[in-house]
Each structure stands twice: as structure tokens, then as C-alpha cells.
Chains A and B, each alone.
Chain A
Amino acid sequence: MPPTARQAAARATGPAPRRALVLGGNRIPFARAGGAYARSSNQDMLTAALDGLVARYGLQGETIGEVAAGAVLKHSRDFNLTRESVLGSSLAPTTPAFDLQQACATGLETVVSLANKIRLGQLESAIAGGVDSTSDAPVAVSDRLRRALLEASRARSAGARLAALAKVRPRDLAPATPRTDEPRTGLSMGEHQALTTAQWGISREAQDELALASHQRLAAAWDAGFFDDLVTPYRGQTQDGNLRRDTSLEKLAALRPTFGLALDTPATMTAGNSTPLTDGAATVLLGSESWAAAHDVTPLAAVVDAEAGAVDFVHGVDGLLMAPAFAVPRLLARNGLTLDDFAYVEIHEAFASTVLTTLAAWESEQFGRERLGLDGAFGKVDPARLNVHGSSLAAGHPFAATGGRIVATVSKELHRARVAAPGGPPIRALVSVCAAGGLGLTAILEAA
């Protein structure tokens, strides 16, 4: 029998891919901007998250195959942030590292990239991660001042230097603070999402309910000790600082809207159903089956597949954070799965309405037919399977750290479910993270 194209391809490119396993994770508690980590740099926090992981898994002096991490708000001096963090950690200094940046999908992209290397046999072990500080964000000088300073440094005479600096005007001295506005539209992410919220007619009540569930579920997980082996305290912060145990629908309903105030439709997005600025770091330990066995670590989950997507939010009709609505259907089709095949669905709560607009799109017959090319609606997610231990609304969202938080949390949950039902059918989780620039990254995990 002649070999199939796939077999031939496998032969041409080497051995068939192996399983890449999530073995564990560690993060520091997430803190509200200006809080416990106000004086901590990205490098400090990433190093702390790495050291906690090393302590949990006894990796002192161990050479890990590769460490990949990144930050969204990054100082230019942090050009080698991950490697510098590795050198400051208890890992062997012979551990290679690289930085990666894909806006809020950074953390999940490090998991996907390293898992792929493991699957290909390039790595036996890896640590994925991400960190962000809005408290210690880089502050730059204005472009006019920067150009003048550079010109002055190139000048060959005192006169030329003075002439260059003379171009500086008082207004040029104002520092350029980091902005999360979209460069091509000038709109903040919240204003973009307000457009999408209005487009899909998402109610204030639905957003507040999702936010409340996030806080309640995260609090329950903390109280049950679920994070005992996922989080290591840092600088006196022992739990996520953004978690509001005492919040309620009444309290959330009392908040004034902050985004979409200029739209024709009622403004529904508040500080309560949007993620706050947050500081934090997260890491995920990945490995091959043989590495896990040799290090006596029980695998939690396998990284099965991933799909990135992007939408033309500048000219098209799709909202800035809607890329996962397109990426997930492609990802599931490739794997022969439907939404019903997932015991857990993790959709990053950039805003409550991001989750709700994504779910609405999947439930829409019209969207399914016209935008996804399906016969009807893509499918429905059971709310009981959605963000079961809370998500970014409650935990906070240190941009690049969110992917690691989600992967480690849901992998532990997958393993728990597997232990509770040994030998049963596959138990899967879907992970979806939206990001600036109209990006989205999605992945499938399966209980190990």
C-alpha cells in the first residue's frame, strides 16, 4: 500500500511528534497596580515566580531545556528579560532562554511554542511564562526630545550640540507614558470593546453576573486550598489582590460605566466588569513524558494543539477582541471536535463582555453561516464549564502573565478530573486569549 501524504511527510521531517506535557506551574499572587509590587520590576517578579517553581519541583541547579517568557510593558533595558531572570534564579545558569511578545497572548504563546519544541524532540523540558508590571512601566521621553538628544550626541562641535538642543520646546519635556491605546485607531481597548458590546447587544446585567461568578469562583478556589501548589506568595501578598470576596450584584450594579459613554447605546462597561491594571508573573513547567518520569513529576495535561487568529478591526466589522471567535472553530475543526467535547472552557476575561460577545457569536446562526462558513451556529458553552475557578476579572490581568495562570490552573483541574474518573474518555480544556491588535490565541489541553 502506498504511503499516505501524511506518512510521507512524517518520514521526510523525522519522527512523529511526541506528547508535550504540562507538569505544573507557579505564579506569584497578582497585585493591583501600585500595590504590593509597586517597587518590583518585571525581572524581580519573573525571578520570584521561577524560584517558586524551582522550589516546588526541586529543580535547583537543573538545566532546563529552554525558558521562554515575556512582558507586554517592557523596558528597553529588559532586552533579555527571561535570560536575566533565569540567571537570577536557582536554575542552572546553563539554562537557555528567550523573550517573546504577543500582547496579552504572550503567556499562552510561550506555552504553545515550547510545547511544539518538545513535541518535535528539540526539548525535553521547558518553562513558559510571562510577567507584567503597570506599576513599574517604562516611561519614555517625547519623540521630539529623543531626536534632539540623539542629534546632540552625534554633533561634532559644541555649537552643533547647542543647536540640536535648542530645538527642544518645553512641551517636549513631558514624559511619554505607556498607553494601551490601539495605535491604528487611537481608541483604548475598553472603548473598542464597548463598540463590540453594543454591536452584540450585551446587557449590563449579564456582564455583572459574569464578574460576580468570577470573584465567587476564585474565592472558593482560594478557600479550598486549590492554589496551594500553584501560587507562591511574594512581598507579603499571599492572595490575589484584586479578588473582592464581598462583591455582589448590587455593588457591581452601583458602579458608574467607564467605557462607551459617547455611544448611542447605554454604556454598560464598568470598573467592576472590566479587568483592572495588575502586576504579576506566572510560569508553567513543561516536559516530555520521559523527562517527567525521570524527575518523578506527575503530568497534569498534554498540550494538544493551538491556533492563532486575527481580525481586521481597523477596517472590518469585527471587534478588536473577537479573533478567538474565528480561531476556535478552525482549531476544533482540525481536531474533529465540537464545543461539547470540552469539560472546561477558559476564555480570558479581558472584559466580561469579551467573553459574552465571543459566546454570542458562537451561538449566532447568522455568524456561524456568514462568518464561519458553517451550516448554522458554532455551538454553546455550558456556563458550568466556563472559567470554573474564576478568571481575569477576579484574579486581575498582568498582561503576559495571564496565559501561564490559565494553563497551570486548568491543567491542575484537568488532572483532578482525570484522577476522579480514571480510564474514562479524554477530558479536554479549551483555552482562549484575546489580545491587542485584533489578535487571538487558542489552544486545546487534554488531561494526562
Chain B
Amino acid sequence: MGDRYLDLVNHGFAAKVAKQLGLPRPVPLRRYVPGQPLVDGPLLVLGAGDDADAVARLLSGPAGGAGGPVLDGWDLDVHRRPTAGARYAAVVVVLTGLTHPSQLAEPMLAAGSVLRELASAGRIVTISRAATAADAPAVAAARQGVDGMLRSLAKELRGGSTANGIVLADGVPVQAAAAVALLRFLLSRRSAFVDGQLLTVDSEAGTLPTDWDRPLAGQVAVVTGAARGIGEAIAATLARDGATVVAVDVPAAGEQLAAVANRVRGTALQLDVTAADAGARILEHALQRHGRLDVVVHNAGIMRDKLLANMTPDRWESVLAVNIGAQLAINEALLTSGDFTAAPRIVALASTSGIAGNRGQTNYGASKGGVIGMVRATAPLLAPFGGTANAVAPGFIETDMTAHIPPVTRQIARRLNSLQQGGQPVDVAETVAFLASPAACGFQGRVLRVCGQNMVGQ
């Protein structure tokens, strides 16, 4: 799944030509490798107030606990105001105290002053509060202003840098586990292809890992559609993060599934997710073989594209059955079993097609939009157990599926995002792993896009 254009414009003469012609110049993204430093260089924390101080303490405090509201510091080089000549790896702008749009100017202009010197693959993260109808108009304007500002800023960044936002729901402190974990995720290379996104932290639920490189240690995770592509990457990533993985796919894909299971040292479960007893069999396998079930990743999905005018019942029904019907039925089985109650997490694969729509994908769009609705309504059912359900919406990802798109269409589709390239399966997998981690229980029915800030949709 090579991207020849990306290789070309990063070397020699072609790079110069591309620059002079103003052609897109995507850079190879840097991906997460366990054990590497969180960021390469100093961080700038902007904004005033207790929240900004708490964030700065978290980032700069000693590892292993510094006392205070955030126990475990990340021991990073943190500046509180721009220093001339500094090349920042990341800028965190804390905007939780905004009461009027005019207050955006100072911190954002300060951030702007360091953008030219931002390190490659740099990170901008805003932390703000959710705007609601209950806010005073000026407060809501300021809070919602962050949204538009952030999405615009993300489109200005180059060199693999990204800008994303943490939005705290009313009453959720900046030290909430999900907020802390999201900050780390967005600063890290795990979020390489997440750009221009804002994710709301709904509650203080969730627990932080004792080892940031193994947030899923001791957990058992089921991944459907795990034989290849994005599912295979999810299985590998969850296993790398410490999980014991039950790899599920249709019996016909058993050969590749066995290879995946053996590679991640998990178990293979050959199963059609649309079978009536799929949920029961998944649960039985996980409990009997591994003693517990903490995470279910609904990744299995199919595409049967046709314009609606030419749509056939089997194309429509099979897509809906696999992509959303099976998820609903499996969740129902898990929820009624009484054995999925220890901070259980569901992560479902949606798609940008389910948000922005895509010609020829009315069936697929319905199923993926359905996933978004499903997690929104399922999260409250899991919340009493300290659990949650969230969705990941991939954009253009380099897989066997997208390799079949005609070459010119594929080249265009790849560039239609702020990072000007397709994502890799591992980018989706990293986000799934993040939402599968115990800290993510503070997100309730949210959707996180992994699309490099695709031009379409929100």
C-alpha cells in the first residue's frame, strides 16, 4: 500500500519542483514506538489559571508522583511563555477559563508566535469547556469559538504537525482520567493521523494506567474482523498495549486469522458475527479461555457499493447486517449476560462515510451512521458499570480495500486532508486502543475521527 507521490516529493529534485509549483507536500508521519520519549523537545503551556497550572504541573512534574491534584508527572521540559529561539515540540493552550471571545486573543496570538518554529510532527492541543445552551451567550461564544479556531489552525499546520482539542463537559476537572489520557494521546505519536478533532470528556470515570506503554495490561479484548487490514492492526496494537486478544473473523478467513492470533499470542475464534449466537460464543470463549472480558472492538465490516437507484436487497441487507446489526445483537448479548460489568468498553468502527456521506454508499453510510447512533445510546447503558461505548471513524486508510480504488481517484482521495496523505491501519488501531483503555471510560458515546482532518464532514 505504498504512496509513491509521498515518497517522491520528499526527495531531491521532485521535492524542489513540488515546492515551486505549490503542489501538496505531505511528509512521512512519525508513528509510536514503545519506550520512546513522549515528545522531542520543550512544550509550551499557554493560558492562565488553576487549570493551566495543573496541566503544566502534570507535564513537568517528576515521574512517579509529585503530590498535588495530578499524581504522576511526565517530567517534560515545560515553558509557560514563549522563549526566543526555542523550537517547541508541542503547544498546549488551556482555555477553560474563557468567559468572552475577546479572551482568545492573548493565548492564541502567543501560540501563533511560535508556530514558525514548531518542530516537525509538532502538536497543538487546546483544552476548553463545552459550549451549551445553558451558558451565558458570551461564554458559549468563547467556548464554541475554540472549535472553529482549532479546526482552522489544524489546516494551517504542515510537516506532519497536528492540532486537536480536549473539550471538558460541565463539571469535569482538567485532571479527569480521560482528559489526562487524551492529552497524552494527542501529544504522542499514537495520534499521528488524528487532526483537527475535538473530543469531549463527559465524566471523571476511568482510571489511569500505571505504565503508559502498557495501558491494557491484564485486560482481555475481543476484536472482530481481525484476520486482516485494520482489524489485524487493532489486534496487534491492543496486544502491544498489554491486552490478551481474542481474534474473531469468519471461518473462511481462518488461515489469516490463525496467523494473526499466533503473532499477537492470542486466541483465534472463527465466527460469523451475524450468527444468532455470536455474542454468547464470544463471551463464552473469553470467559472460559481467558477468565474475563474487558473490551470488545466491533471492527468487522463490509462494503457493497451501488447507487441507490441500482441497489439490490442483498447488497443493502448484508452491509447493514454485518456493519451494525451484528454489533447491536452482540452488545445485547453482552449487556444481558451479567458478565460484562467490570468497567467494560466497547469501541465500534464507524466511518467518515457515516458522517459526511459518500456517493454510492447509502447502505454503508446508513450502517456507519448507525454505529454512531448506537454508541451514543449504548454508553449510558454501560456507564452504571463504569464502562462506555465509543466509535472511531477512519477516513482514507491505506488498506487492501482502498487499494482497489482507481488510481487517479485514489491519489485525489489521499490528498483531501490536512496531512495530504492516507492513514495507515495502525493509525486507526492506535485510536481504538486509546478508546479501549481503562482511562477512556470518561468518554460517553463519542466519535473520534482518524482522517488527517478530511475536508468533508465535521
Chain A residues within 8 Å of B, Cβ to Cβ = 48, 51-52, 54-58, 60-61, 90, 225, 227-229, 231-235, 238, 296-298
Contacts and interface: CB of A to CB of B under 8 A. Distances in A.
Nearest to A90: B262
A232 B254 contact: yes
Contact of B255 (A48, A227, A296, A297): A48
A55 B267 contact: yes
Nearest to B261: A55
Given A228-B271, A229-B270, A58 B265 contact: yes
A297 B291 CA distance: 11
User: By CB atoms of chain A within 10 A, which of B266, B272, B289 has the most?
Assistant: B289
A235 B253 CA distance: 10
B266 A51 contact: no
A58 B266 contact: yes
B245 to A, nearest CB: 10
B290 A296 contact: yes
B250 to A, nearest CB: 9
A298 B289 CA distance: 9
B210 interface: no
B267 A52 contact: no
Given A52-B268, A58-B289, A227-B251, 11 more contacts: A51-B258, A51-B262, A56-B261, A58-B266, A61-B265, A90-B262, A225-B272, A229-B270, A231-B254, A232-B255, A232-B257
Interface in B131-154: none
Contacts of B271: 228
B265 A225 contact: no
Given A61-B265, A232-B270, A55 B258 contact: yes
A414 B269 CA distance: 21
Contacts of A57: 267, 289
A55 B262 contact: yes
Interface string B242-281: 0000010001111101110110011111111001000000
Interface string B284-327: 00001111000000000000000000000000000000000000
Given A228-B270, A296-B291, A238 B251 contact: yes
B218 to A, nearest CB: 15
9 contacts: A51-B262, A52-B254, A55-B259, A55-B262, A56-B267, A56-B268, A233-B255, A296-B290, A297-B289
A52 B270 CA distance: 11
Contacts of B266: 58
A234 B290 contact: no
A57 B247 CA distance: 12
A160 B352 CA distance: 80
A63 to B, nearest CB: 14
A231 B258 CA distance: 11
A58 B257 CA distance: 12
A346 to B, nearest CB: 23
A233 B253 CA distance: 7
B291 A232 contact: no
Nearest to B284: A298
Contacts of B267: 55-58
B252 A238 contact: yes
Contacts of A234: 255
A351 B243 CA distance: 49
B259 A51 contact: yes
Nearest to B271: A228
CB-CB nearest 10 A-B residue pairs: A55-B258, A55-B268, A55-B261, A90-B262, A58-B267, A232-B254, A238-B252, A60-B265, A233-B254, A228-B270
A90 B270 CA distance: 19
B254 A296 contact: no
Contacts of A297: 289
A54 B270 CA distance: 13
Contact of B288 (A55, A90, A229, A296): A296
Contacts of A48: 255
B239 to A, nearest CB: 11
A28 B252 CA distance: 11
A276 B165 CA distance: 65
A233 B262 CA distance: 15
A296 B288 CA distance: 6
Contacts of A51: 258-259, 262
A48 B252 CA distance: 15
B268 to A, nearest CB: 4
Contacts of A232: 254-255, 257-258, 268, 270
Contacts of B257: 55, 232
User: By CB atoms of chain B within 10 A, which of A55, A225, A229 has the most?
Assistant: A55
Contacts of B289: 57-58, 296-297
Nearest to A29: B254
A125 B456 CA distance: 56
Nearest to A26: B258
Contacts of A90: 262
B204 to A, nearest CB: 35
User: By CB atoms of chain A within 10 A, which of B266, B267, B272 has the most?
Assistant: B267
Interface string B206-250: 000000000000000000000000000000000000000001000
Nearest to A53: B258
